[in-house]
């Protein structure tokens, strides 16, 4: 598992060998606001060693009942999902008073790493690879949406955070959906609070931004945003501020790729446009339906399996090693500090939850500005010509 932070992009923080229960923590991969993520080894008898990832609750949240409930929900949902395109969870527990979740280790990169590397190299991801990633994520989301609880009842799970940072691609070309920290399901439906927004500002579906009830089609909008960014090199919803990004999401204000990418394939654009439409009834009805559309496109373009192509792309983009693999030696204490260019824009900050007092406006800001101008003009005319 990989976390999208400026520090983890610069280097991995190597640790002195630290025991944590059955695990040996090797390097800190990063973390979100409430948890830290470590590359670790599980040491078994007879020299058995298994690389893994350990996600630990930050000490300041150990006594936060609400966050413990969120972390437990993440573990319970992850334990019920078994699929090649989903990062597997295999252990959950408490050690020295700290809750942790042990996850499959994926040597490779997040799609956020890939997008940044492509931007730096002045290139985009080939559509054959984008299609391969899309099909893999459709498979993962199909598993999530069809999952059942321990009693056999539908889990009604929605990931709610399908973003480039939460998709891992391995050096062998596998595609893995990760991070179920804000997943909504029947297991936590009673704990969900109205008026609370969860996810990332630039990867929200319109119904998320409007604080409306969600269903699985919200995840398909998120998937559309991920594929859009992979093949264009730009975020569909990134604006100059957090509020502007929320407004863009609420109205699905997204320019078609052909508006700025000459010769963009119309058939693939139609797939993106359907996934990214504002009305959920106009989107694909399910992840399986969207996967079928991508498979037809792959067949018509005569793309073969792109595992090897994706693997070769990773080697090309990261010649010094995969982002999730620790360096051979500790970083120099004189390493350059994080520069402003390495810090995400404010509207791309990963937030666990933001409480809104009311849904964001659905009208475009230009319409609002025009209405305000008309109102001011009318007021001025009243004072100048009507009143004596």
**Which neighbouring-strand residues pair with 169?**
109, 175
3-state secondary structure of 39: strand
Answer whether residue 380 shows pLDDT above 50: no
**Both tokens assigned to 6:** 């400026």
For residue 144, which of 209, 67, 83 has the smallest C-alpha distance? Answer: 83
Q: What is the mean pLDDT of the chain?
A: 79
Give the span between the Cα atoms of 238 and 278, in whole angstroms: 17
Query: Which pLDDT score, from 0 to 100, does residue 297 have?
Result: 97
CA pair distance 176, 108, nearest whole angstrom: 11
Which has more confidence, 111 or 364?
A: 111
Provide the pLDDT confidence category of residue 17 given band limits of 50, 70 and 90: low
Tell me which of 6-20, 43-57, 142-156 is least confident: 6-20
pLDDT at 230 over 60: yes
- Positive or negative CA dihedral for 235, 241, 242, 246? negative
Dist CA 25 CA 17 (whole Å):
6
User: pLDDT: is 197 or 85 the higher one?
Assistant: 85
Q: Is 14 helix (H, G, I), strand (E, B) or coil?
A: strand
- DSSP track, 176-226: EE---TT-B-TTTGGGPPTTEEEEEGGG--HHHHTT----THHHHHHHHHH
What integer pLDDT is reported at residue 188 of this predicted model? Answer: 57
* Of the listed ranges 36-40, 98-102, 196-200, 227-231, the one predicted with least confidence: 196-200
Marked catalytic residue, from 4, 113, 161, 219: 161
HSE, CB side, 13 Å, CA atoms: give it for residue 24: 11
pLDDT, residue 14, reads 53
Instruction: Out of 58-62, 135-139, 156-160, 363-367, give the one with best mean pLDDT.
Output: 135-139
pLDDT computed for residue 33 by the predictor: 63
Q: Are 62 and 99 in contact (CB under 8 A)?
A: yes
Q: Could you confirm whether 281 is annotated as catalytic? A: no
What are the tens digits of pLDDT across the range 277-298?
Answer: 999 999 999 999 999 999 999 9
Q: For position 187, what pLDDT does the model report? A: 59
Give the phi and the psi of residue 119 in degrees, each rounded to 5.
Answer: -60, -45
> In this model, does residue 342 exceed pLDDT 50?
no
């Amino acid at each position: 598992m990989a976390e999208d932070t400026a520090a983890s992009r610069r280097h991995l923080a190597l640790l002195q060998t630290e025991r944590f229960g059955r695990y040996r923590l090797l390097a800190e991969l990063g973390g979100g606001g409430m948890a830290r993520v470590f590359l670790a080894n599980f040491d078994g008898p007879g020299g058995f060693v298994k690389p893994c990832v350990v996600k630990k609750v930050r000490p300041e949240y150990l006594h936060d009942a609400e966050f413990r409930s969120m972390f437990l929900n993440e573990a319970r949902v992850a334990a019920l999902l078994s699929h090649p395109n989903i990062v597997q969870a295999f252990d959950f527990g408490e050690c020295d008073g700290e809750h942790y979740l042990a996850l499959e280790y994926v040597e490779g990169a997040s799609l956020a790493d890939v997008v940044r590397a492509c931007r730096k190299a002045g290139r985009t991801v080939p559509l054959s690879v984008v299609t391969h990633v899309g099909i893999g994520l459709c498979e993962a989301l199909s598993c999530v949406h069809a999952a059942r609880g321990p009693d056999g009842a539908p889990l009604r799970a929605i990931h709610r955070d399908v973003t480039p940072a939460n998709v891992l691609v391995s050096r062998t070309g596998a595609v893995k959906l990760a991070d179920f920290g804000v997943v909504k399901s029947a297991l936590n439906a009673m704990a969900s609070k109205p008026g609370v927004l969860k996810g990332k500002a630039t990867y929200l579906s319109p119904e998320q931004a409007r604080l409306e009830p969600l269903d699985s089609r919200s995840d398909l909008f998120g998937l559309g945003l991920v594929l859009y960014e992979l093949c264009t090199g730009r975020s569909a919803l990134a604006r100059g501020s957090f509020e502007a990004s929320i407004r863009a999401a609420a109205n699905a204000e997204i320019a078609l790729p052909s508006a700025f990418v000459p010769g963009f394939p119309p058939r693939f654009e139609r797939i993106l446009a359907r996934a990214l439409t504002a009305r959920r009834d106009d989107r694909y009805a399910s992840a399986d339906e969207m996967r079928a559309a991508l498979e037809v496109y792959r067949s018509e373009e005569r793309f073969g399996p792109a595992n090897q192509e994706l693997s070769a792309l990773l080697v090309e983009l990261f010649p010094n090693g995969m982002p999730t693999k620790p360096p051979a030696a500790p970083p120099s204490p004189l390493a350059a500090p994080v520069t402003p260019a390495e810090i995400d824009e404010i509207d791309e900050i990963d937030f666990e939850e933001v409480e809104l007092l009311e849904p964001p406006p659905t009208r475009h800001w230009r319409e609002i500005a025009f209405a305000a101008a008309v109102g001011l003009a009318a007021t001025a005319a009243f004072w100048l010509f009507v009143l004596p």
